[in-house]
Each structure stands twice: as structure tokens, then as C-alpha cells.
């Protein structure tokens, strides 16, 4: 498997990243261990999580995913075979939120303990914190890089304006810069990324680790009529957002592309992302070994120009771009 450079960080990552939000939530510990072992054994090395995963679940307080990964690392001894990414900045309760220097310092130490490691390969700002000066945030991240606790830093959910400002701040002050961006990007959600963020990432040489690669499952073809909203806990939101004339056109194009390629619709949707300019490693999750095998096959799928043009045309007329 050909690894891809992550910005200018020196990190080399697999063409797909395993989204760790499922660990300790929809995938129990034993299943999570099996998924992580299979991921590495298939030649992939990139795993992404966050301190807040999975605080939204009843009875959870955050840190569950990192804890599971840490236990797996201790049992498997595979720390040196993965590029480990986590994030800071979301609300962890009791005032633990944002990107102030003290919060970053507190959070990284907690993440390192849960992950049972001495370093985080990619430490990301989970969301922008307009209340904290970029100088303070980036200086805190820079200190962690200098100490060896973090190898590279990245941003998630930043606007192009704020990402550009952050890059300029790092250059001006001689601080570690964001080497990657984690945006929402898929066949259904194109305009927000492609209009301003994609050109900036390409110009600055940032890696792109887009999340919701399958539009919360919509691009697998799981939701085709309003009644399908009951097929999962998040189905109502997925149907409400994506099940419209444009969404149906995208599904029809995916069906045709799947017929041509002999692969499932979700695999085609990931292959389309892998062919997009600037995309480094889309993030996708699995909760079973058969689902993981589908991701492995998707990373190996190459779509021809005719199929890419079909998908481009079906998804191009994003109402948000008007």
C-alpha cells in the first residue's frame, strides 16, 4: 500500500483513516480490538479519535474511545505501526472546553494517559475557539511539539479565513503550523470545502482528512425513502438532510457506478474522494469485520474518468453554492 505524506509533517499515512468514534460506543472493547488488529494487518496505519468520544452516549463522559485504543496498544504492542491522531477543544463538561493554553496542556496529558503512549502523532484542534487568541493556542501546541509529546498539529472544522489566519500566525511567530485539516466533505457535502478550503489546502500543502466520507451512511444507499429513517438512531437526521432530489440523483449515479465497477455504492463514494485534488486520507468507520473489509476494498478501487465525470455531474449542483 502506498502511503501519503501528511502536509509537511514527515508523517506518512494510509489512504484511509479509521474513525475511532465507534470504539467503546457502537463497538465494544473486544470488537474494537479485532477491528484495530484487522486494520493494521490489512496494511493501514492511520487511526483518528478525540478526547470527547463518546460523551454523547448515555452514561459516557468522554475519553471512552481513547481508553479502548490505549488498552489495545498495551495488549497488541503495535504502537509503532500506527499513526495516532486525536483532538482537543470540544466541551468535556465542568468548564473543560476551548483552546486556551492551560486547557490544551491539561487535555494532552489526559489523552496521553488514556492512550497509554508517550506521544501523539497528530494532535488536532477539534474546532475553532474564537475567544482565545490564535497566538496563545499555537504557542501551546508548539510547546508540545518541542517537548516531543506531539509530532504534528492539525485543525478541524475551521473556516478558510481562520485557517489562513492561523497559518500566517505560525509563520510570523515561528511556531508549529497546522499540517492538516479535518473538514466535512463527501459527494453530498461539496460546496463548503471546495469553494475556499480546498484551494487553501492545496496552496499551503496541507493534508486533508475529511470526515463523514459516507454522509452518515446515506451514500451506502441505506436511506432511499422517508420510511428508511427508522433504520438507525441517526436515520431521521440523515433523511432530513440528504433525501431530496439532489440526493436521489447522487444515489442513482452511485448505483450506476457500482454496476460498472462491481463494487458497493459506499466503496464507490470513497473511491471518488480518493481521486479528489488535495484529499489525503478520508475518515471512515466500521463496527464489524465485514464492514472493515469493504473499506479495505474501497481503498483499492480506482474509478475511470467516465465514472468520475458521472459522479461529478450528479453531485455538482449543490444548492449551498448558489
The residues annotated as belonging to the active site are 53
DSSP-based three-state secondary structure for 297: helix
Concatenated DSSP letters of 93-105: STT--S--HHHHH
Integer Cα distance of 10 and 6 in angstroms:
7
Q: How far is CA 162 from CA 92, 148, 156, 242, 279, in A?
A: 23, 26, 11, 28, 20
Is the distance from CB of 249 to CB of 257 less than 8 angstroms? Answer: no
CA 284, distance to chain mean position in Å, is 7
Of 152, 133, 127, residue with least CA distance to 142: 152
Integer Cα distance of 24 and 71 in angstroms:
11
Report the DSSP pairing between strands 178-182 and 17-19: unpaired
Integer Cα distance of 39 and 43 in angstroms:
7
Amino acid at each position: 500500500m502506498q502511503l501519503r505524506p501528511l502536509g509537511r509533517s514527515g508523517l506518512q499515512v494510509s489512504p484511509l483513516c479509521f474513525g475511532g468514534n465507534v470504539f467503546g460506543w457502537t463497538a465494544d472493547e473486544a470488537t474494537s480490538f479485532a477491528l484495530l488488529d484487522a486494520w493494521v494487518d490489512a496494511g493501514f496505519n492511520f487511526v483518528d479519535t478525540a478526547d470527547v468520544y463518546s460523551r454523547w452516549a448515555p452514561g459516557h463522559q468522554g475519553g471512552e474511545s481513547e481508553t479502548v485504543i490505549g488498552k489495545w496498544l498495551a495488549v497488541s504492542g503495535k504502537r509503532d505501526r500506527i499513526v495516532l491522531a486525536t483532538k482537543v477543544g470540544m466541551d468535556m463538561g465542568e468548564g473543560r472546553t476551548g483552546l486556551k493554553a492551560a486547557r490544551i496542556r491539561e487535555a494532552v496529558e489526559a489523552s496521553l494517559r488514556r492512550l497509554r503512549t508517550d506521544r501523539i502523532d497528530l494532535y488536532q484542534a477539534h474546532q475553532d475557539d474564537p475567544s482565545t487568541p490564535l497566538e496563545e493556542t499555537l504557542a501551546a501546541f508548539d510547546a508540545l511539539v518541542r517537548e516531543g509529546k506531539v509530532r504534528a498539529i492539525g485543525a478541524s472544522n475551521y473556516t478558510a479565513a481562520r485557517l489562513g489566519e492561523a497559518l500566517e500566525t505560525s509563520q510570523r511567530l515561528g511556531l508549529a503550523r497546522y499540517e492538516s485539516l479535518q473538514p466535512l466533505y463527501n459527494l453530498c457535502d461539496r460546496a463548503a470545502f471546495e469553494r475556499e478550503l480546498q484551494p487553501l489546502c492545496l496552496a499551503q500543502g496541507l493534508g486533508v482528512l475529511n470526515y463523514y466520507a459516507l454522509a452518515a451512511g446515506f451514500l451506502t444507499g441505506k436511506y432511499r425513502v422517508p420510511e428508511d429513517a427508522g433504520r438507525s438512531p441517526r436515520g431521521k437526521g440523515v433523511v432530513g438532510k440528504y433525501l431530496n432530489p439532489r440526493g436521489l440523483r447522487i444515489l442513482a449515479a452511485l448505483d450506476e457506478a457500482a454496476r460498472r465497477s462491481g463494487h458497493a455504492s459506499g466503496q464507490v463514494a470513497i473511491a471518488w474522494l480518493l481521486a479528489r485534488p488535495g484529499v489525503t486520507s478520508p475518515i471512515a468507520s466500521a463496527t464489524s469485520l465485514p464492514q472493515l473489509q469493504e473499506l479495505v476494498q474501497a481503498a483499492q478501487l480506482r474509478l475511470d474518468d467516465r465514472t468520475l465525470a458521472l459522479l461529478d455531474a450528479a453531485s455538482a449542483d449543490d444548492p449551498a453554492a448558489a
